[in-house]
Structure 1
Amino acid sequence: MKHYILFDHDGVLVDTEPWYFEAGARALADVGFTLDRDQYLRDMAHGNPTWTQARAAGVDEDTIDRVRDARNAYYQHFLRTEDIEIDGVVDALARLSQHVRMAVVTTSKRADFELIHATRDILRFMDFALVREDYTHAKPHPEPYLTGLRRFGADAGEVLVVEDSARGLGSAVAAGIDCAVVHHPFTQAQDLSRATHRIADLAELADLVVE
């Protein structure tokens, strides 16, 4: 039985991934570049940034710096104004919290993470949250989840990771931790074959973990 769960954040606890793409696409459109969604998803699966396509097309770094600032502003606007809830998350976490200890391991920047959770109940179920500033190497590197293991003082066999993307799955696998992948339409075309479990939603995770 697993005693700890490390949750990815975007696409697992809140539905932010489409808005992060939209923010980057809009910012790049402002400088005349069209961000291809399918290639973006392929880049994301390997941990490559939003700007990979633009750089390959010859967009210079000064322009990318300006676009990055615009993307961040668009994204925070979306976080304030769009519906990013995932149905059933809080109920599932409430049930799980009676049986396991939980934490968040995310590539979200602290400012975005704090904005998302300023008015939500998700973090009350978590022992801690690791954001992008809390480790050096981002997913698919194993460091984020290895850092989570150390924070819990847990062995890998006691822990389950919950992810929705190939990048996050790769991080969990590299850290030697079993991973349940929850369905999300934004990442469903990615190679998720290394997952220990495939689940439709977090309610199904509760059924899986709680014996």
Structure 2
Amino acid sequence: MDGTLVDTEPYWLSAEADLVASFGGNWTQEDGLTLVGSGLWHSAAVLQGRGVELSADEIVQHLTDRVLDQIRVSVPWRPGAQELLAAVREAGIPTALVTMSIRRMAEHVVSTIPFDAFDHIVAGDDVTHSKPHPEPYLRGAELIGVDPAMCMAIEDSTTGLASAVASGAVSIGVPLHSALEHGLGYTIWPSLEGKTFADLTTVFRLLQTSVA
């Protein structure tokens, strides 16, 4: 979700910097980028190490509140994201949103999509192991009733791609705030803008063939 469907990373970076500053510390954009794609409780532990004297749960809720405040003003959709998602739904493909944001944020973002976009949501507070562990994507495949190897995942971060590839899903990386290296088990698109359902099926067949 964050960075793939919506460009909320600047919101997270701002919320993190403000929180660390409130405890007398300093948090740079470079610091924030190291957490892109990570689970929020992992991020909370890092922020505690930078002097934030709150529990992990308090940090997660605080950051989520701040980001939601900004999303309610404007949802920063990524180019082509809604259009491609709509094409997938029109083709009758089951979908799951797999995000490390917590459920209440994921549900709010999904509620702003003007069509029935997802059959299921797997959020950061729904899993024991966050990305890069494969559990989130394995759970998503389970919910939609599909073998993970028959799924496609679209991700914007190295952490997210690692989770998707480890689950066995055919994966596409669309970099935004973090560079992605080309590697086995996934392909990289510079953007979702102009991409079609046919483009997805082409990647699926190519990567399925290369794995086989």
User: Which TM bucket (shorter chain)?
Assistant: 0.7 to 0.9
Offset at 1:51? 4.2
For the 8 Å contact 1:169–1:194, the answer to whether it is kept is no
Instruction: For residues 136-159 of structure 1, give each alpha carbon's deviation from its aligned partner in whole angstroms, at most 9, with x where no partner exists.
Output: 111111110111121122223211
**Equivalent residue pairs, number:** 199
Equivalent residue, structure 1, for 2:207 = none
The 3 A distance-change label for structure 1 pair 200 and 159 is same
The two structures have a TM-score, normalised by structure 1, of: 0.79
Offset at 1:105? 0.9
Equivalent residue, structure 2, for 1:76 = 68
One-letter amino acid matched to 1:127: D
Gaps of 5+ in 2: 203-212
SS at match of 1:125: coil
Q: Aligned pair 1:119/2:112, yes or no?
A: yes
The 3 A distance-change label for structure 1 pair 117 and 178 is closer
SS at match of 1:204: coil
SS at match of 1:114: helix
- Whole-Å Cα distance in 2 between the matches of residues 191 and 34 of structure 1? 29
- Whole-Å Cα distance in 2 between the matches of residues 18 and 41 of structure 1? 10
Equivalent residue, structure 2, for 1:209 = 200
- Whole-Å Cα distance in 2 between the matches of residues 180 and 42 of structure 1? 21
Offset at 1:62? 3.7
Q: Aligned pair 1:155/2:147, yes or no?
A: yes
- Whole-Å Cα distance in 1 between the matches of residues 126 and 144 of structure 2? 15
For the 8 Å contact 1:40–1:50, the answer to whether it is kept is no
**% identical equivalent positions:** 27
The 3 A distance-change label for structure 1 pair 174 and 29 is same
SS at match of 1:49: helix
SS at match of 1:197: strand
Offset at 1:107? 1.0
Equivalent residue, structure 1, for 2:89 = 97
CA RMSD of aligned residues (A): 2.7
SS at match of 1:96: helix
The two structures have a TM-score, normalised by structure 2, of: 0.79
- Whole-Å Cα distance in 2 between the matches of residues 169 and 13 of structure 1? 15
Instruction: For residues 156-176 of structure 1, give each alpha carbon's deviation from its aligned partner in whole angstroms, at most 9, with x where no partner exists.
Output: 321111101011111112212
Gaps of 5+ in 1: 1-8
- Whole-Å Cα distance in 2 between the matches of residues 146 and 63 of structure 1? 29
Summarize the alignment of residues 1-211 of structure 1 with structure 2, pairs less than 5 Å apart. 9-44=1-36, 49-57=42-50, 59=51, 61-62=53-54, 69-99=61-91, 100-121=93-114, 124-184=116-176, 186-188=177-179, 190-191=180-181, 193-194=183-184, 196-202=186-192, 203-204=194-195, 206-210=197-201
